[in-house]
Structure 1
Amino acid sequence: MSEAEWRAFLADTVTPAFPDGLTAFDGAGQWRNREGRIAQERSKALVVVLPGATAEQARARIRPIEEAWKARFHQQSVLTLYRAACVGF
């Protein structure tokens, strides 16, 4: 995925779903693939705060982003962490 492809995904898929804001940063992913080999690639991480959302509501809003990412960038999976937090801005 190029930086231009990432920016397009952010603009047309992520931002409309979370217009109140988010944080995005670069990562380095590593996992054991279906063939049993260790795979590595550059990754992107998103932090989205959903005040007052239940876990079920958060999953319902985030799942379409996961599915779009897998389809668009031909990924087998997406790591997602749901966690309650005390947040201030």
Structure 2
Amino acid sequence: MVLDTLYFGTAKPDGVVTAEEWAAFLSDTVTPTSPEGLTSWVASGQWKTSAGFLEQEHTYVLQLAHEEHQEKDRAVRRIIQIYKSRFQQEAVMRIRSRACRSF
């Protein structure tokens, strides 16, 4: 299994990504590509922008556990690009690791 953990910042030029916008993004963008399930939560974080400024903001964290396939990798990259475009984000951090799954 592969575990993708994605960190989506919420600050945007005209405000923040609201809980309603996040829920809509999960529903219309993430869920169709991840029918096996997902987990998300709200966190607080900080990162250094490309301009060298320290940005502190609330963050939506998304975890996707899935089989390793090129199609899924493309889907995750597409999720990131859509979020960046829709919410005017400079970056979305992705951490990918191997995982064992059991039920």
TM-score (structure 1 length as normaliser): 0.88
Gapped runs of 5+ residues in structure 2? 1-16
Q: Which has the higher contact order (CA 8 A, sep 6+)?
A: 2
For residue 61 of structure 2, give the secondary structure of its aligned residue in structure 1.
strand
RMSD over aligned Cα atoms: 1.3
Gapped runs of 5+ residues in structure 1? none
Q: Where do residues 1-89 of structure 1 align in structure 2 (5 Å cutoff)?
A: 1-51=17-67, 53-54=68-69, 56-89=70-103
For residue 98 of structure 2, give the secondary structure of its aligned residue in structure 1.
coil
For residue 65 of structure 2, give the secondary structure of its aligned residue in structure 1.
coil
TM-score (structure 2 length as normaliser): 0.77
Q: Which has the higher helix share?
A: 1
2:19 maps to a residue whose letter is E
Q: Displacement of 1:32 after TM fit?
A: 1.0
Q: Deviations over 1:24-70 (max 9, x none)?
A: 1111121111221100111111111112x14x454222100000110
Q: Which has the higher strand share?
A: 2
